[in-house]
A and B are shown apart, each in its own frame.
Chain A
Amino acid sequence: MSLKPKSNWELIKNGMFGENTIFRMAISLCPSIAVTNGMKNGVSLGVAVVFVQTMVNATVSLIRNFIHPKIRIPIFMLIIAGYVTIIDLLMATYARPVYKEIGLYIQIIVAFASIFARAEVFANKNKLWPSICDGFGMGLGFLLAMIVISFFRELLGKGELFGYSLISGNPLLIMILPAGGFLAVGLLMGFFNWVDMKFFGGKGASGV
């Protein structure tokens, strides 16, 4: 990471590709498998995360000078939990059918490492506007990963996208089974590493 402050656009891009939560940093993995068995679920959770991540970064950045460093962790936790409660109640009211399937995972956003990490690493040290861009970019990166994974899983597993049938014949049932989620993420991660090594000379994200 360079010390030179990045422009807002660079911050968004960094969140989407350079430090993509799922494929690069390999954190917040749970929902990437749990709710990606269909585009609708994946996109809904992604949007929820974009909202929470942006708002948390904005809030933390605004009040960063008033928080005593020693109690910052519980304070961040409370801020995150507050926004998660908002989105949880909103979805429970206005998106009932989706909420029934992914409700538990919406509530689990509170334990997302990526949101906490950005609040601690970025928003705690930066001004309001860059923090919003950083949070938004990180959220978009997550959304993007969710879209890619659920695209493949729904298309291969059911032959559908957003519930519309596209391919006839026997779909690969394993892709929508729980096990298929792990396989899909593993293969996609390997593929992105391969692209990175082959075309950009990177070392690939070894992850944990």
Chain B
Amino acid sequence: MDFTKLFELVVSSALINNFVFTMFLGLCIFFGVSKKMETAVGMSITFLMVMVVSAALSWVVYQFIMVPLDLTFLKIIIFIGVVAAFVQSADTIMKKVSPSLYYKLGVYLALITTNCIIIAVPLKNAGEHYNFFESIAFALGSGIGFGLALIIMASIREKLEVADVPAPFRGLPISFIIAGLIALAFTGFSGLITL
């Protein structure tokens, strides 16, 4: 196993090919929960965990069920099913096993199925023919990248509350422009690693 390659994969999916700023996925959640720092942190943690587990599950399903049975053309339906089933069961288990954790993170869990990154990562893993560890590294990097974006955005938007923004731009439009400026900064990472 090649650890350098795995490390490069994590860094590149977190910084260079950041899902939010260069691939534009997960924007609904990105703008939806980046209003407060606390919710942003909660969402990032939940998302990272779900991301890694569901990528691993999807990989197993893809390699051991879909490829042998020639079902790869059904990958969209099957992956969304795997993710939804996992989120639903995680929700139920967490409620039973650790109510305090559920109280803190349960809300975000329900929101996660509407996040396009969660379905994009298994699709990309399958498309790029990553092996099991590469899939997990890719999911981990994507989760870190999403959390990073969310936390940067939340810290700026908290300051924005007291800023004097022109009326038509209040709320979402100004957030978009801020995201544009952050994205511009993130282009500075390109070329850091060439895979």
Contacts and interface: CB of A to CB of B under 8 A. Distances in A.
Interface centre among B23, B35, B118 (most CB of A within 10 A): B23
A189 interface: yes
Interface stretch (B7-15, B74-82, B94-102, B137-145): B74-82
A30 B26 contact: yes
A185 B175 CA distance: 10
A26 B27 CA distance: 10
B28 A107 contact: no
B167 A197 contact: yes
A110 to B, nearest CB: 5
B123 A113 contact: no
A111 B77 contact: no
A77 B168 contact: no
B22 A208 contact: no
A167 interface: no
Main secondary structure of the interface of B (DSSP, over half): helix
A115 to B, nearest CB: 11
A179 interface: yes
B80 A110 contact: yes
Interface residues of A, number: 46
B172 interface: yes
B138 to A, nearest CB: 14
Given A104-B124, A208-B35, A30 B73 contact: no
Contacts of A197: 167-168
A205 B169 CA distance: 10
B32 A208 contact: yes
B48 interface: no
A41 B19 CA distance: 19
B176 A104 contact: no
Interface in A98-142: 104, 107-108, 110-111, 113, 116
16 contacts: A77-B84, A78-B77, A85-B76, A104-B123, A108-B116, A111-B80, A116-B114, A177-B184, A182-B180, A186-B176, A190-B169, A190-B173, A193-B168, A197-B167, A207-B31, A207-B172
